[in-house]
């Protein structure tokens, strides 16, 4: 020991996405001394390639990794491309986790999702239930690939003592989301459709019945929790990052919030598939660790997201 403290070098895969951009903003605001953060996009390295992944680790020599990179999409893209979601995510995850181990990375925090839980399950869902039964048919490939991250973390701990872990956010939204109407998630899709309907003076068609229930987390709240997990959370078992069960909203509630934030009124249409009816998750474990964490109120976060989308319409992912 020479008495000098090695800097914490954090590599963030998927750093150009919705969650990665939010972490970048939070780190800018509250990042600690002696920390070096690098945010990667697919242009820096295609993590489907083991060789390109290795080159990134050689270049940056991270001590810590936040692993966000994934093939991500909404219900309809998942239904069309189940095989691609399975194969691509399995490859990216194995490349990142195995390379991190080989380079002696101290901690990796990967990102699971509540949509990987069993389709038939008692509610609320908690961290112990990930592998209890098959996931919903619509995102079978994505869900099993994500579950294997947990398998890899646990086996890597058993075999090598590595404390690699994962977080399980509910539906994320915020600036820099993918606002593509066909391939994106429900909220950014709704925001984009409302924007277009308003611009064209047309009616607003909300897909599905509007009845399914979801918990949403603002990307900036998630980012703060991610940084806490990286620095403070010491378990290999994953942790759900979510607002409470009492804050579950219907898709209709979401549409109302978007309509209000955008100043638009319109009719709902119910012609498309609904996906899983609900997937209520418990945040009891998170609350045990961080009882005082304050989530941004939903309407405030929606307003900020809508304002960002309108102001950045030309550069937003659509
Ligand atoms: N959004 C949600 O509601 C939600 C909910 C639960 C969990 N999650 C998880 O959170 C993580 C981040 O999601 P997000 O919503 O931020 O996704 P996103 O906005 O779609 O961003 C995906 C990121 O992954 C990168 N990426 C994709 N394929 C890659 C490849 N082959 N090589 C290198 N990088 C690649 C993208 O790089 P480019 O920008 O260069 O394409 C981008 O930075 C994912 O693991 C996702 O499964 C998301």
- For ligand 1, the distance from its centroid to the CA atom of residue 129, given in whole angstroms, is 24
pLDDT at position 2 is 46
171 Cα nearest atom in ligand 1: 3
Name the residue among 317, 241, 247 with its Cα closest to residue 286. 241
Identify the residue whose C-alpha is closest to ligand 1 atom 11. Answer: 68
Secondary structure (3-state) at 162:
coil
pLDDT at position 221 is 98
pLDDT at position 268 is 60
pLDDT digits (tens, 9 = 90+) for 204-214: 887 777 788 88
Distance from C-alpha of 32 to C-alpha of 209, rounded to nearest angstrom: 46
Name the residue among 276, 304, 299 with its Cα closest to residue 214. 276
Identify the residue whose C-alpha is closest to ligand 1 atom 6. Answer: 113
Name the residue among 173, 174, 199 with its Cα closest to residue 266. 199
pLDDT at position 106 is 97
Distance from C-alpha of 216 to C-alpha of 79, rounded to nearest angstrom: 22
Distance from C-alpha of 74 to C-alpha of 274, rounded to nearest angstrom: 12
User: Which pLDDT tens digits describe the chain residue by residue (318 residues)?
Assistant: 444 567 899 999 999 999 999 999 999 998 777 899 999 999 999 999 999 999 999 999 999 999 999 998 777 777 788 999 999 999 999 999 999 999 999 999 999 999 899 999 999 999 999 999 999 988 899 999 999 999 999 999 999 999 999 999 999 999 999 999 877 788 999 999 999 998 888 888 877 777 888 899 999 999 999 999 999 999 999 999 999 999 999 888 888 899 999 988 766 665 565 666 778 999 999 999 999 999 999 999 999 999 999 999 999 998
Distance from C-alpha of 222 to C-alpha of 15, rounded to nearest angstrom: 14
Which of the residues 123, 142, 233, 313 is marked catalytic? 142
- For ligand 1, the distance from its centroid to the CA atom of residue 93, given in whole angstroms, is 12
Query: What is the pTM assigned to this prediction?
Result: 0.92
Give 317's strand partners: 178
169 Cα nearest atom in ligand 1: 6
pLDDT at position 90 is 98
Identify the residue whose C-alpha is closest to ligand 1 atom 19. Answer: 17
For a ligand 1 pocket test, name from 51, 70, 176, 215 the mutation site with the most ligand atoms within 8 angstroms of its C-beta. 70
Domains of the chain: 8-176+215-245+280-297 (3.40.50.720)
For a ligand 1 pocket test, name from 11, 17, 40, 175 the mutation site with the most ligand atoms within 8 angstroms of its C-beta. 17
Name the residue among 30, 69, 21 with its Cα closest to residue 220. 21
pLDDT at position 1 is 42
Identify the residue whose C-alpha is closest to ligand 1 atom 29. Answer: 42
177 Cα nearest atom in ligand 1: 19
Q: Edge-to-edge, what's the strand order for the sheet holding 64-67?
A: 35-39, 8-13, 64-67, 107-111, 165-169, 239-241
Distance from C-alpha of 130 to C-alpha of 118, rounded to nearest angstrom: 7
- For ligand 1, the distance from its centroid to the CA atom of residue 88, given in whole angstroms, is 12
110 Cα nearest atom in ligand 1: 45
Give residue ranges with CB within 6 A of ligand 1.
14-20, 41-43, 46-48, 68-72, 92, 111, 113, 169, 171-172, 178, 185
Secondary structure (3-state) at 124:
coil
Is 142 noted as a catalytic residue in this protein?
yes
pLDDT at position 310 is 94
């Amino acid at each position: 020991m020479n008495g000098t403290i090695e800097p914490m070098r954090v590599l963030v895969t998927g750093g150009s996405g919705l969650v990665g951009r939010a972490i970048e903003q939070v780190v800018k605001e509250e990042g600690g001394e002696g920390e070096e953060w690098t945010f990667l996009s697919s242009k820096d390295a295609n993590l489907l390639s083991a060789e390109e992944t290795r080159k990134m680790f050689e270049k940056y020599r991270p001590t810590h990794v936040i692993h966000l990179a994934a093939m991500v999409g909404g219900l309809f893209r998942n239904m069309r491309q189940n095989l691609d979601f399975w194969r691509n995510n399995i490859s990216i995850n194995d490349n990142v986790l195995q390379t991190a181990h080989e380079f002696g990375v101290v901690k990796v925090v990967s990102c699971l999702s509540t949509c990987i839980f069993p389709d038939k399950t008692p509610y609320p869902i908690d961290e112990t239930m990930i592998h209890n039964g098959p996931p919903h048919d619509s995102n079978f490939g994505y869900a099993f690939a994500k579950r294997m991250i947990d398998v890899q973390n646990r086996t890597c701990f058993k075999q090598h003592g590595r404390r690699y872990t994962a977080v399980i956010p509910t539906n994320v939204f915020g600036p820099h989301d993918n606002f593509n109407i066909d391939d994106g998630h429900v909220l950014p899709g709704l925001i984009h459709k409302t924007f277009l309907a308003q611009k064209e003076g047309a009616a607003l068609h909300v897909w599905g019945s509007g009845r399914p229930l979801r918990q949403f987390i603002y990307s900036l709240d998630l980012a703060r929790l991610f940084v806490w997990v990286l620095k403070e959370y010491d378990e290999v078992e994953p942790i759900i990052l979510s607002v409470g069960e009492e804050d579950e909203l219907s898709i209709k509630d979401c549409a109302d919030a978007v309509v209000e934030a955008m100043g638009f009124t319109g009719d709902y249409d119910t012609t498309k598939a609904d996906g899983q009816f609900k997937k209520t998750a418990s945040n009891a474990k998170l609350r045990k660790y961080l009882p005082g964490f304050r989530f941004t109120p939903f309407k405030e976060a929606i307003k900020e997201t809508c304002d960002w989308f309108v102001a950045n319409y030309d550069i937003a992912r659509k």
